[in-house]
Amino acid sequence: MNFVSILMGSKSDYEIINEASKVLSSFGVKYELIITSAHRSPARTKNYISDAEKRGAKVFIAAAGMAAHLAGAVAACTTKPVIGVPMPGSNLASMDSLYSTVQMPKGVPVATVAIGKAGAINAAYLAIQILALNDDILAKSLKDDRKKQEENLISDSKTVEVLL
């Protein structure tokens, strides 16, 4: 069974990263979600990634805050796509989580999205786009979703438009 694996560095990341779960569910994409840490539970992290790959994980989403480097640790253990979601809320205006996610050495990429809730949502959409490369039904669902977003925007605009 193909699925997306969502990993978070601590329970405090759940409220934000759960937004990714909601998007995946809305498209009917199966996912797993666990708490694991590149620093506090490195063996658990490595073992989970290996096991998840064997069971059908096609994309990994990793969320962590501060200078935690969960996405990088995941990318070091797999050649599957890894999407990093920097978490907000550190003393460094979240720049530490952004930099630790986006600054990867050559040959070990992590696709990095925005900090926080928007990033979690976009991580799910990016995972769906990756899966849709080999799934025409999912690809159509993405196109339909984009059309719905456009229709909603136009509808919202009509409630406030002032045109000459």
Q: What is the CA radius of gyration of the chain?
A: 17
- Please report, in range form, the residues annotated as the binding site for substrate: 10, 13, 40
- Summarize the annotated binding site as residue ranges: 10, 13, 40
Distance between CA atoms of 68 and 91, rounded to whole angstroms?
13
